[in-house]
A and B are shown apart, each in its own frame.
Chain A
Amino acid sequence: MDRRTFLRGVLGGAAATIALPTLEAMLGSNGDALADGRPIPTRFGVWFWGNGVRREHWIPDGEGTGFRPRAELAPLNDVRDWVSPVTGLEIKTATHPHHSGMTGIMTGMRYHQVGTTRDTIVSTFAGPSCDQIAAAAFEGQTPYRSIEVAVARFRGTDEGTTFQHLSHNGPNNVNPSEYEPRRVFERLFGMGPTAPQLDFARKSVLDVVNAQIRGLQGRVGARDRQRLEQHFESVRAIELRLAAGAARCATPGAPADFPDVDGREQLAERNVAMSELMALALACDMTRAFSVMYSSAGSGVVVWPAGANNGLHQMCHDEGAPQPTVHRAVVFIMEQLAHFLRRLRDTPEGDGNLLDHCSILCTTELSEGNVHSNDEFPILIAGKGGGRLRGGVHYRSHGRENASKAVLTALRGAGIPLGGFGAEAGHVTDSLGALEA
């Protein structure tokens, strides 16, 4: 990001900053326990960006702890001890250039085609995305089962949920990401428990809603019963939150809106606000499963701060080798990731920090946007997983190992005792031991 853009964001957008209370004071944690004495949890997250990388600038030189990052990983130097690049892995369920990578990395499965067409394929995820596998493992321990946010606005609408959403509970069953910080704030702090009489009324209302859902389930086919079951679970989540009582954190000031400036999205500014809110949600233990969709699969986001003047997906197609603008866009996006990770690292928690207690899969939907490749898949695993992950290790696969291994490593790194991850050719039972403490 150039300095002028940055200053405009800070100085011109005084109202755009969020007045958060100091987390340390708010939380009062020490040792390995939260303020209320419970042990510090480990969280699982996904940080996703679209359109891949330029591999000549991505793959570090050297392996293990002594690796030397190239230009696209250099922005992460500051948090290097918490970030392990994983290179040389491959999506084993690749049957289609656009759809397989996204579903492969997020579910370990082939994409699920919606309707039989011969044109552009419309697809969805065949099973839950890895953030929802984590959410299921952590269910009931926090007010929110999971939190989904996004930064860039663009959504491809022609090819199914695979290109519109990141977090899936199952086929065509999505958890849409919220891309306005104000709405994330309202979600976290706006509709929690309030007065007992009001909470009682809301609870009674939701009981009737769920009774109607059960009634309707008796009249429809199995497919629709399943869709209504998700509705039931969604309503039940509100009831559980009401039953759990008041939020654990003080309510901070609300963030402002981030309207376009001269027709340009305020990407960096929105990323700052989202990173702030996510740090807060995690530190306050409002959720233990999260996803940040910086940009969607195949995103047409215009990365103006990188000097782009066309959508990134199109630039991947059109820009001649060696694609300097695409490269700068990847560097910019990694700067954005670095900001997010720094924000977690700079949040004290117990004897360490929030990033010490996270395991975050950072990835994209293909290796390089100009050729839609599914080999040499770009993956970073960030965080120390509460001591389960080493961090700062470059793992290089020399045998085109299954990319699902990295996902399983990240999930186990969050303390989730999974036997395996993925299905069919994407199925694995081994994680990457070199990354584990």
Chain B
Amino acid sequence: MRRWHSLSAVLLLWGCGEGRLETIEAPATAPAPGRGDDGDDGAGGDDEPMAPPDEGLPGEAPAGPPFRPSPATLHRLTRTQYVNSVRHALGDVRLPDDLEVDTPLHGFSTVGAAELTISPRAAEQFEAAALDVTGQVFDDASRRAALVGCEPADAACVRDFFARFGRRAWRRPLAPEEIDRLAGLHAELTGSFRDPWAALRFTVAAMLQAPDFLFRAEVGEPDPADPAKRRYTNHEMASRLAYFLWSSPPDDALLDAADRGELVTDAGLRAQAARMLADPRAREAMRAYFGEYLSLGELDHLEKDRATFPQMSDTLGRSMRAEIEAVVDHLVFERDADFRELLTTRETFVNAELAALYHLPAPEGEALVAAELPADGARGGLLSMAGVLAVNAHHTVTSPTRRGKFIQANLLCFDVPPPPPGVVTNLDGVGGEGPQTTRQKLTRHAVDPTCNGCHQHMDPIGLALENFDAIGAWRTTESGLPIDATAGVQGVAIDGARALGALVREDAQFGDCMARRMYRHATGHLEERGEIGVVRRLGREFREGGHRVVALATAIVLSEGFRGAAPPSDEVEMPAAEGGN
């Protein structure tokens, strides 16, 4: 199988069928459905023609334009990275619960973190958090002694501490004038408090509010082997590796490797990546990545109509998320399996409420335990896991469109634009009186060419999942009518979730898309035109290497896209605001 969409769809403009833009001005690039979502369209500002969507067989994709790195930039720590960085610096402290939530862009918090800055409210939160956590450590004589290791009444002790602690907190060696500045603050506050420990607590609080802590600053340096090129420095690479593979700051071993100049060599990077991917922090970080890749966030506050679904509880959504995370973790880290097994596996993990939903024997206790789905059952693989089915449904009824869109957009990088303006989107009154199935209501999408241009890429796929209701429970009827879960996808007749999973598994786009998304997450920006070649190669190697996720993460770290920098951008985003004075 090569394509999920018909060739004609690629040629159609906005609305995937009828042009409905007469009344408003079209955007510079009218959206069409396709895989050109990810920078095939170029980063703007260059004269090269827009690249067509991928054509040709997988493996034969053209290399794309010459490699051109993305500009070095400031990356604000994500919420998780901030928490992990504070704990790395100070040990096991309690963080306030009101830290600002991330603003994901292009699907990933890391992308938002490279765009956004620190609002007045966030600065207040960071100040409060810094005073809170430093209080926890410095109000405790044994904890502060363990952290500092000497008496801060002694100036040499304090300077030595700033050098050591600064390296942990700011993830690089401190410049002498920075140590001078911190020592100056400490001396000033010691004079005020007449207590060198209290002064030290506030100085540490300053270090935790500094941009050097809250941001990862990346500038890059000329590559000595080819001064026309620019690369990230050793210490910049230490943080790039650590926040990608661990969602945490670099440890001493990684900083030592940076000090030795090992993080700009293939061998050094390979060694560190292997070490880091074997560390429990990698599993934690990968869990966070998959949460965004699979859009699982809504499961933390899953709202479903409890009159319709008595099985819903305050915990069921989080259990659904935990199941998917456990399956992914098992495939990636326990088995280093072909990741496509995610789409077909009958190995899963359930607790009592999930077992009830799946009609499996209930395990003891709260924790999820391994379970096997029946070989002759309807469930198997990601597409029949309750979390995916529930997030991509409404609060009472299913949405084949949303489920289809999830498969296309998240798993296959095939994006579908929103409905054109002025189109009435409700489906009532189609097909006459009396109860109807969701499938019957959706016939409007199939017969109306305005709808069908796009919906043909979503609805049929989602209809194969109609045996699962809006919380992912099995059903055979809807509104008293029998469910039909057959679908024609790519000219292949399928019936049900497992057949659909098997079909997606064989699509080369699944592996290419995974590589593309992880690259985006790892680098913290939407892939640009000059990176297409890197992204395609990563996808090809991922597929040809048997879809090993750990190998993919390693390949990303070693890729020139992860290591090469363009000079920081001088483009200023704030246009003159009219009426602003």
Which residues of A does B touch, CB under 8 Å?
94-98, 107-109, 112-122, 126-128, 133, 136, 144-146, 148, 153, 157-158, 160-161, 164-165, 169-176, 178, 180, 183, 186-187, 190-191, 197, 200-202, 204-206, 208-209, 211-213, 215-216, 219-224, 226-228, 230-231, 233-235, 237-238, 260, 262-265, 302, 309-311, 314, 317-321, 323, 370-374, 408, 418-423, 427
Q: Is the CB of B579 within 8 A of A97?
A: no
Q: Are the CB atoms of B117 and A228 closer together than 8 Å?
A: yes
Q: Which residues of A contact B395 (CB under 8 A)?
A: 302, 309-311
Q: 8 smallest A-B Cβ distances: which pairs?
A: A320-B428, A119-B415, A221-B568, A234-B123, A97-B421, A421-B579, A127-B577, A115-B526
User: What are 21 contact pairs spanning A and B, CB under 8 A?
Assistant: A118-B36, A119-B417, A127-B574, A146-B120, A170-B573, A172-B115, A172-B573, A173-B116, A174-B116, A176-B101, A187-B121, A187-B124, A191-B127, A204-B185, A224-B568, A227-B74, A231-B118, A234-B118, A260-B301, A262-B306, A423-B577
B43 within 8 A of A: yes
Q: Is B211 an interface residue (CB 8 A)?
A: yes
- Residues in A whose Cβ lies below 8 Å from that of B73: 220-221, 223-224
Q: Are B219 and A219 in contact (CB under 8 A)?
A: yes
Task: Say yes or no: is B29 at the interface (Cβ < 8 Å to chain A).
Answer: yes
Which residue in A190, A201, A221 is a CB contact (below 8 Å) of B128?
A190
User: Are B43 and A118 closer than 8 Å at their CB atoms?
Assistant: no
Chain A contact residues: helix, strand, loop or mixed: loop
On B, residues with C-beta under 8 Å from A are 24-27, 29, 31-32, 34, 36-44, 71-74, 98, 100-101, 103-107, 112, 115-124, 127-128, 131, 178, 181-182, 185, 188-189, 192-193, 198-199, 202-203, 205-206, 209-212, 214-215, 217, 219, 297, 301-308, 312, 314, 394-397, 399, 409, 415-429, 525-526, 567-575, 577-581
Are B120 and A205 in contact, with the CB atoms below 8 A? no
Q: Decide: A238 and B123 in contact? CB cutoff 8 A.
A: yes
> A136 touching B580 by the CB < 8 A rule?
yes
- Name the one of B26, B119, B429, B577 contacting A320, with C-beta atoms under 8 angstroms: B429
Q: Which residues of A contact B107 (CB under 8 A)?
A: 158
Tell me whether A119 and B31 are in contact (CB under 8 A): yes
- CB-defined contacts of B215 to chain A, threshold 8 Å: 216
B contacts with A: majority SS: loop
| A141 vs chain B, min Cβ distance (A) | 15
Are A191's CB and B124's CB within 8 A? yes
Contact status B306-A221, CB under 8 Å:
no
Knowing A118-B32, A223-B570 are in contact, say whether A209-B578 is a contact too (CB < 8 A): no
A78–chain B nearest beta-carbon distance, Å: 31
What chain B residues lie within 8 Å of A422 (beta carbons)? 578-579
Distance between B9 CB and nearest chain A CB, rounded to angstroms: 12
| Min distance, Cβ B158 to any Cβ of chain A, angstroms | 14
Closest Cβ of chain B to A230, distance in Å, is 4
Who on chain B is nearest to A264 by CB?
A: B303
- Docked pose: A311 CA to B397 CA in angstroms: 11
Q: Which residues of A contact B219 (CB under 8 A)?
A: 219-220
Question: In the complex where A119-B416, A120-B417, A127-B580 touch, is A317 in contact with B426 (Cβ < 8 A)?
Answer: yes
Bound-state CA distance A302–B578 (Å) is 37
Do residues B568 and A176 form an inter-chain contact, with CB atoms below 8 A? no
Q: Could you say which of B206, B305, B307, B579 has the most chain A C-beta atoms within 10 Å of its C-beta?
A: B579
**Closest CB of chain A to B450's CB: distance in Å?**
13
Are B71 and A117 in contact (CB-based, < 8 A)?
no
Q: How far is the CB of B46 from chain A (nearest CB, A)?
A: 10
Looking at the assembled complex, report how far the CB atom of B485 sits from the nearest CB atom of chain A, in whole angstroms: 21
